[in-house]
Amino acid sequence: MSSIQPGVKHVFATSDRLENLPPYTLAKVFQDRDAKVRQGVDVIDLGVGNPDMRPPQHAIDTLKAALDDTAVENHRYPSFAGLPEFRAAVASFYKTRFGVAVDPATEALALVGSKEGIAKFMSAHLNPGDTLLLATPCYPAYLGASALTQARVVEVPQLAKNGFLPDLSAIATDDARRAKIISVNFPNNPTGGVETPEFYNDLLRFAREYDLFVLSDIAYCDLSMDPSYRARSFLEFDRDKERTVEFHSFSKSYSMQGWRVGMAAGNAEAMAHLLKIKSNTDFGVFMAIQRAAIAVLSGPQDYCARVSAIYRARRDAFLAGVKPLGYPVETPRATLYVWLPIPRRFGSSMDFTRELLDKTGVVVAPGSGFGKAGEGYVRIALCVPEERLNEACRRMAEAGFRY
């Protein structure tokens, strides 16, 4: 309850914002997982998208050099927006990778991980009751961040039958008219779905028609399990940055998830709003980490191809294990996930997840945690070696987890 009795002070009464937060589905799964580990079960954790690769050597070398530098500069408070060199590196990354011009002074920001930026972007632009169009299933932080703003979330399902692209024509006109923002993420966590140029053109047309702002998230743009696929930025379509902010991360492309560094690029006015929130609530990214991130962005990009090949081999191992069990699973072209449909005999993705953990010690993420459209699936994170994926499939077969 947000208050115990109207008008009566209660010190620990929570805010309406907090009360509006949905339960964190994965937290429950992690509790069950930890209980199994305590019981001595050999748990195979395919639940978390937590890369298990060592970051690029030049990131580590640059961080070490920055720490060894006897000047105190790196240890001082960073600027809220990020070092000018960091923002310049973001701009040259966008130029080289996507052919998009970004003004480092006004159109690029350093973030303490993109999760931070996404949540603050939402709180900078959404009032309670405002409408947000959210393509789901989605990264669960979107559900949490939008709930904290108390906005009205209209989920736009991205389903297998539509190639895992949101069906814009299914959005009620009234919802489109009322909405302020539409949020998309390609390549997509959790489905592994990828954008098409046609979809991005339609999205821009739709956003212009209904005067919407586009929040685009390209956290997985350089994890291509299919070498013939090369992800695009939405800024290649909204080149004037008329209505887009795009978030990107060092966590997946460079396995630097513990370092907490990300970036935003896009519309200057929206960036200024995000910066205003940031300057009141955080102090930017440790400068030694920004220097390592600059080295990564400006250095050779072969790391991404190498880790993508590892994820591809893991994907193939997992699919080779579950397809003979009858699972009608799509082959994801990017990300580090497999989006696995569950057998109909299970009441829900949570039931499947619980029973699987109980009988096999394999942890997966129930689809319901990714939004309503996620029910009927579980997400497999390919963050364990191939042998463990083979072992997970072997246990599923042995315990009768056929489709």
Binding-site ranges for ligand PLP (CB under 6 A): 49, 113-115, 139, 185, 189, 217, 219, 249, 251, 257, 262
| Closest separation in Å from C-beta 175 to ligand PLP | 23
Q: Which is nearer to ligand PLP, 219 or 295 (CB)?
A: 219
Q: Is the dihedral of CA 33, 34, 39, 40 positive or negative?
A: positive
For residue 66, with 0-12 CB atoms within 10 Å meaning exposed, 13-18 middle and 19 or more buried, which class applies?
A: buried
The shares of helix, strand and coil residues in the chain, as percent rounded to the nearest 5, are: 45, 15, 40
Structural contact between residues 216 and 245, judged by C-beta atoms closer than 8 angstroms: yes
User: Is residue 362 within 8 Å of residue 347, measured between CB atoms?
Assistant: no
Which CB sits closer to ligand PLP, 121 or 318? 121
Distance of closest approach, residue 138 Cβ to ligand PLP, in angstroms: 7
Least distance to ligand PLP from the beta carbon of 290, Å?
Answer: 14
Q: What gap in Å lies between CA 95 and CA 67, rounded to an integer?
A: 30
Nearer to ligand PLP, 49 or 366 (CB): 49
Closest distance of CB 373 from ligand PLP, Å: 15
Q: Of the two residues 360 and 368, which places its CB atom closer to ligand PLP in the complex?
A: 368
CA–CA separation, 190 and 335 (whole Å): 8
Residue 121 has φ and ψ, to the nearest 5°, of -60, -45
- Least spacing, CB of residue 263 vs ligand PLP, in Å: 9
Crossing angle of helices 386-398 and 349-360, rounded to 10°: 100
176 versus 218: smaller Cβ distance to ligand PLP: 218
Gap between the Cα atoms of 18 and 343, Å rounded: 35
Beta carbon of residue 115, minimum distance to ligand PLP (angstroms, whole number): 3
CA–CA distance, 247 with 255 (Å, rounded to integer)? 16
The CB-of-205 to ligand PLP minimum distance in angstroms stands at 24
| Distance, CA of 60 to CA of 45 (rounded, Å) | 27
Using the minimum distance from each CB to ligand PLP, give the nearer residue, 262 or 321.
Answer: 262
Task: Compute the least distance from the CB of residue 71 to ligand PLP, in Å.
Answer: 28
Q: Which amino acid is located at 276 in the chain?
A: K
**Single-letter amino acid, residue 239:** R
Instruction: Identify which of residues 49 and 374 has a Cβ nearer to ligand PLP in the complex.
Output: 49
Residue whose CB is less far from ligand PLP, 176 or 221: 221
Bond before 187 cis per omega within 30 degrees: yes
- The burial class, CB within 10 Å (0-12 / 13-18 / 19+), for 257 is middle
Q: For residue 291, what are its two tokens?
A: 């220097």
